[in-house]
């Protein structure tokens, strides 16, 4: 059992969320999503520490819209729920999102599967792309929004299964000082601070900071991370607000690829048991580090009654490196396992600018919310991979006993594969230029019928150069992404909807992995989603949701039957499912977040990787999650959590199954003093031995044993 300390507060907080969760409601007035629009609200507002979920958001439409009126499934995890559950990673959070499965990301990045589609790049911050492979933190967030299904109309390319949007905190005109400190029995500590200070009557400064030196139940696995995020909020007049923000974030950790598989006595491939704490490889040579600089500027100006102009610019500079020595095969008959090694570096700079014009107008008895938008972007990347060779034999693999797989190796890393006909990811420079135009109309035909119709055009221009030999390839894609949704309200508390949406992913992949003589001529993959659902508020503040969907992925590469050296776009995948959700507040004492998903995802037409009929990995047929907090008294609260998943496959080979499991969590909250709160969380209360996710058949993540967390939060 290990212990962590995390601080909570049930105090009144000042907050104003980022532009992607706010709405302009009057001359320069902005209110946090979920607040009621009011003409006399000041531009920088105060508010209580929020409940679970949210009433309104701009993430699904780029306009302030009630969540109930967006014809799409989404899950919103607020700061309060993150604090109550002591969530520390995207993987932890997505465990409580129906239809989502976190991946291990090879131990060096966030990676997820949404509705059967795997991605390392569909991450956004305040609605703008944040696609480099690294681990993100929640220290400066007001909420995390997970949108399901193709989202190209709002977010651009990719997003075939869905996207994850982080919403950062903004400055207010209220004084706020909160501090957290955390630690665990493994020797780890975590400290965060959130300080907001009005500088003048129209300017507020907010600074969020983090330091963490953490450890794991896995031997020889640790991490160090720190970050700082100062923001300025400026009331620049009666109708204008300006936001400026800079974030520096550093993350360094052991690259842990988990455990291999083994054939059991009955001949079934399964994860290796009994080695949950054992590191396979060389922990000293296995590490990942990321340095991230994010600089953003936003302005919102009310041009006239019902007419608002917004502009936001984000510059990101990313320096990412990882190296790993890891199991590269199943446990062999003599009780041995094979290890391999490589390293990979990425330098990327992103520059994006978004301009939105929102016009609310009534014509012919129909209310319109019109959106006209432009997005411009440029992404330059350098990626280099080197393979490891074990000395003194200079071999690409090393066989070690499964009983003692933690080694101290002598490895030389050097580049391989400089084939001039291709641009493998061993040393690549890429430049992507993005230009997009989009238009959307939200029509309120009557009090009980609403329609959302939108169309986006993206020009995606990609140039890739193999820096080993100078070979260059390019591809220009002109992408049209439609969206249509209808919402019917038979009663005010119930919304029934149907929707259709399309998204695309260029054949270079979500990380610009490379093009060649064949792939540079291939059309992008296409994601087409039909969805029907309902959103119901049985009591004020509680939202129940249901979604039924079919998502088809086509234009997937398959080997040309007439020429095995070439590809054709005949591969396909289909995902079908039902997602149920329950979130927000049953009453002022009782918060809840629950979800269930029934899913099926399989290859419907043979691809280059697998034949028709294979199941998509990391898609359990049944998945259920529950987290609920109940405040027994004004000082004492209790919480309970349940995660249950049926079995799923570790990879497209369908050779190794991750067994189904059920995990039980619990928590207690106590107010020691008006400004000090205590919290205890116990995860995996019953000590379930489980394997929640994997990267492939032999990089499987063991679940943590019983884990206790304890802590305090102070407001001064």
- Supply the DSSP string of 268-333, one letter for each residue: -EEEPPS-TT---B-GGG-EEEEEEEEEEEEEEEEEETTEEEEEEEEEEEEEEEEEEEEE-SPPPT
Report the length, in residues, of the chain: 716
d(CA 639, CA 627): 7
Instruction: Compute φ and ψ for 519, nearest 5 degrees.
Output: -70, -25
Provide the pairing of β-strand 2-4 with 707-715: parallel
The per-residue pLDDT for range 301-317, each reduced to its tens digit, is 999 999 999 999 999 99
| pLDDT(287) > 70 | yes
- Decide if 689 contacts 273 (C-beta within 8 A): yes
Residue-wise pLDDT tens digits, 170-185: 999 999 999 998 878 7
Average pLDDT over the chain, rounded to an integer: 89
Q: What does pTM read for this prediction? A: 0.91
pLDDT tens digit string along 237-253?
Answer: 889 999 999 999 999 99
Alpha-carbon span 180 to 138, nearest angstrom: 13
> E strands along 492-521, which residues?
494-505
Least-confidence region, from 83-87, 470-474, 515-519, 589-593: 515-519
Per-residue pLDDT of 562-572, as tens digits, reads 666 677 777 89
SS3 at position 349? strand
Residue 363 neighbours by CB under 8 Å, 6+ apart: none
User: Across 5-9, 557-561, 698-702, which has the greatest mean pLDDT?
Assistant: 698-702
**392: preceding bond cis by omega (within 30 degrees):** yes
Q: Which CATH superfamily is domain 2-715 in?
A: TonB-dependent receptor, beta-barrel domain (2.40.170.20)
């Amino acid at each position: 059992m290990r212990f962590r300390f995390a601080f909570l507060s049930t105090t009144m907080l000042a907050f104003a969320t980022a532009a992607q969760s706010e709405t302009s409601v009057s001359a320069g007035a902005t209110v946090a999503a979920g607040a009621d629009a009011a003409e006399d609200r000041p531009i920088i507002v105060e508010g209580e520490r929020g409940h679970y979920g949210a009433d309104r958001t701009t993430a699904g439409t780029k306009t302030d819209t009630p969540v109930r009126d967006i014809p799409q499934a989404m899950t919103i995890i607020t700061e309060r729920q993150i604090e109550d559950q002591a969530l520390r990673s995207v993987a932890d959070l997505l465990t409580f999102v129906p239809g989502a499965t976190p991946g291990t990301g090879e131990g060096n990045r966030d990676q997820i599967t949404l509705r059967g589609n795997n991605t390392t790049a569909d991450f956004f911050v305040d609605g703008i792309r944040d696609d480099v492979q690294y681990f993100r933190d929640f220290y400066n967030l007001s909420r995390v929004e997970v949108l399901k299904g193709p989202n190209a109309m709002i977010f651009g390319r990719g997003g075939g299964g869905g996207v994850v949007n982080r919403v950062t905190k903004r400055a207010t005109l209220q004084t706020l000082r909160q501090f957290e400190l955390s630690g665990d029995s493994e020797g780890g500590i975590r400290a965060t601070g959130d300080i907001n200070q009005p500088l003048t009557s129209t300017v507020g400064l907010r600074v969020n900071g983090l330091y963490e030196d953490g450890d794991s139940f896995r031997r020889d696995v640790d991490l160090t991370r720190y970050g700082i995020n100062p923001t300025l909020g400026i009331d620049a007049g009666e109708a204008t607000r300006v936001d400026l923000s800079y974030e520096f974030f550093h993350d360094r950790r052991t690259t842990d690829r988990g455990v291999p598989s083994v054939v059991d006595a009955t001949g079934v491939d399964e994860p290796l048991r009994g080695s949950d704490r054992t590191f396979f490889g060389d922990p000293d040579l296995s590490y990942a580090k990321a340095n991230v600089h994010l600089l953003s500027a936003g302005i919102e100006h009310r041009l006239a009654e019902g007419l608002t102009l917004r502009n936001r610019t984000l510059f990101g500079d990313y320096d990412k490196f990882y190296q790993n020595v890891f199991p590269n095969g199943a446990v062999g008959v003599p009780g041995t396992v094979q290890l391999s090694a490589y390293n990979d570096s990425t330098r990327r700079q992103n520059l994006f600018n978004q301009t939105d014009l929102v016009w609310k107008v009534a014509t012919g008895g129909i209310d319109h919310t019109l959106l006209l938008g432009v997005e411009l972007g440029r992404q330059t990347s350098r990626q280099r991979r080197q393979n490891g060779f074990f000395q003194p034999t200079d071999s690409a693999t090393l066989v070690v006993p499964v009983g003692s797989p933690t080694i101290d190796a002598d490895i030389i890393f050097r580049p391989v594969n400089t084939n001039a006909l291709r641009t493998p990811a061993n040393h690549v420079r890429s430049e992507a230029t993005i230009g997009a135009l989009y238009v959307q109309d939200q029509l309120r035909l009557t009090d009980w019928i609403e329609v959302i119709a939108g169309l986006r055009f993206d020009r995606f221009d990609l140039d890739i150069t193999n820096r080993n030999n100078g070979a260059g390839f390019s591809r220009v894609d002109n992408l049209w992404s439609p969206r249509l949704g209808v919402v019917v309200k038979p009663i005010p508390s119930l919304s029934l909807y149907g929707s259709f949406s399309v998204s695309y992913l260029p054949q270079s992949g979500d990380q610009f992995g490379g093009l060649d003589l064949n792939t540079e001529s291939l059309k992008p993959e296409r994601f087409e989603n039909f969805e029907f659902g309902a959103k119901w508020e049985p009591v004020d503040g509680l939202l129940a949701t249901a979604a039924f969907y079919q998502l088809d992925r086509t234009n997937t590469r398959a080997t040309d039957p007439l020429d095995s050296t070439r590809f054709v776009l005949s591969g396909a995948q289909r995902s079908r499912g039902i997602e149920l959700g329950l979130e927000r507040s049953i009453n002022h004492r009782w918060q809840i977040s629950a979800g269930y998903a029934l899913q099926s995802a399989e290859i419907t037409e043979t691809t280059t990787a697998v034949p028709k009929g294979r199941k998509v990995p990391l898609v359990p047929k049944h998945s259920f999650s529950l987290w609920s907090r109940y405040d027994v008294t004004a000082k004492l609260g209790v919480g309970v959590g349940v995660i249950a998943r049926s079995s799923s496959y570790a990879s497209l080979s369908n050779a190794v199954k991750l067994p189904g499991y059920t995990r039980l969590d619990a928590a207690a909250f106590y107010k020691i003093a008006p400004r000090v709160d205590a919290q205890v969380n116990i995860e995996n209360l019953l000590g379930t031995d489980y394997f929640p996710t994997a990267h492939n058949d032999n990089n499987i993540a063991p679940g943590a044993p019983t884990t206790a967390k304890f802590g305090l939060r102070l407001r001064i």
